[in-house]
Amino acid sequence: MENTLQQQGRAAREASRVLATAGTEKKNAALEAIASVLTDRQEEWLRANEQDLEAAERAGMRPALIDRLRLTPERIAGIVEGIRQIIVLPDPIGRVDKMETRPNGLIIGRRRVPLGVIAIIFEARPNVTVDAAALCLKSGNVCILRGGREAIHSNRCAAKLMREALAQAGLPGDCISLVQDTRRETANELMHLDEYVDVLIPRGGAGLIRTVAKEASVPVIRTGEGICHIYVDNEADMDMAARILYNAKCSRPSVCNAAECVLVHREAAEGFWEKALPLLDGREVELRADKPGMEILGARALPASEEDWDTEYGDYILAVRTVENLEEAIEFINAHGTGHSECIVTADYFKAQRFLDAVDAAAVYVNASTRFTDGGEFGLGAEIGISTQKMHARGPMGLEELTSYKYVIYGEGQLR
């Protein structure tokens, strides 16, 4: 007898056959219905979110993580705007990437198709529930969502509202489904639901991503591990460098594109910290510095340990490393980064180009905050995650990254 998750998987597979051929107009109508219901019934969603926030506070969750969990009318408006941005994006499904005629007369093309059923395991961010569902829907994919227990009330409410909207638009409600059981055993079962799930995307902290990548038998796209660096060159504009670091670390420290480590050229250190400290002090950022950094920062910093160079804090904590030159910075980033987002602040064109060429990451910046690594900021609409791997998808995963392709061949009786 099938258990609940197997039934959910089977229903998702059946829905995927309908959604794959639904057409752009019908998918967009469903997305508009979702946007409308989330707006019209946002108080319902906010009440559910309040239950999660109260539980998080009772459990002693860190403020930065509570911030990730929190919904507000403004954040819901942003989520809805993200849906409407997806509506106006071109539908990749059915697009033919290339078509050529072979010497034997066969016409061979490559057509974009959905991946099928996508399972997404994520942590305490209720906006992911909607972002992921909307992107999957527009790209013709059915999604099975498994959020963390911290956001279970918010996620249940969002899923219920979206499924109602799907029914109003004439699509199966099972195009979007939420795993109701948040036990670890259920997540493990989802990782092995090979019969129904085509790809699994973990979205959360390093621990979650590594566990899924290690345990899953379903194909996995790794996302989100974000040990991001800002390198301040000796030829940087120090005011600019201080502002970029402040934004990258402090605008939202809990997200994966926030900076976790600043590398400062030895010759720039005193001038840079004179500009940066007043900004960081405003948010009481804890600094963990190497020995040269401690000599400048003194009591303002704590001594860094080796673990600090490989830690994604997700909080107002920043590792500080002093380097002798650009090459040392590049070597350090490639050794300790997670392939997410890296930045150089410099006025030297040739150093900037060397950094762009040599740093191995999904997004490499010159004189701009790493916080821009985001589907919306890149013009992709809401993203399903930031892929840090190199196969199939890398960087913000928008609609096209949620597709595969199949070859279509037209003949006139050719035989081999």
- What does the pLDDT profile of the chain (416 residues) look like in tens digits? 457 899 999 999 999 999 999 999 999 999 999 999 999 999 999 999 999 999 999 999 888 788 889 999 999 999 999 899 999 999 999 999 889 999 999 999 999 999 999 999 988 788 889 999 999 999 999 999 999 899 999 999 999 999 999 999 999 999 999 999 988 899 999 999 999 999 999 887 777 888 888 889 999 988 777 899 999 999 999 999 999 999 999 998 988 899 999 999 999 999 999 999 999 999 999 999 999 999 999 999 999 999 999 999 989 999 999 999 999 999 999 999 999 999 999 999 999 999 999 999 999 999 999 999 987 788 776 678 788 877 778 888 889 899 999 999 999 999 99
**In angstroms, rounded to a whole number, what is the distance separating the alpha carbons of residues 403 and 228?**
28
Direct distance between the N- and C-terminal alpha carbons of the chain, in angstroms, rounded to an integer: 47
Block residue for tokens 């300790």: 336
**In angstroms, rounded to a whole number, what is the distance separating the alpha carbons of residues 216 and 47?**
35
Q: What is the pLDDT of residue 254?
A: 82
| CA separation, residue 174 to residues 163, 166, 177, 245 (Å) | 7, 9, 6, 43
Dihedral of the CA atoms 354, 360, 363, 364 (nearest 10)? -20
Q: Which two tokens stand for residue 325?
A: 């030159």
Long-range contacts of 291-300 (CB under 8 A, 24+ apart): 292/266, 292/322, 293/264, 293/269, 293/320, 293/321, 293/322, 296/269, 296/270, 297/273
Q: What is the pLDDT of residue 376?
A: 76
Find out whether 224 and 202 touch, Cβ atoms under 8 Å: yes
Q: Which two tokens stand for residue 247?
A: 């934004």
3-state DSSP assignment of residue 166 = helix
Q: What is the pLDDT of residue 1?
A: 42
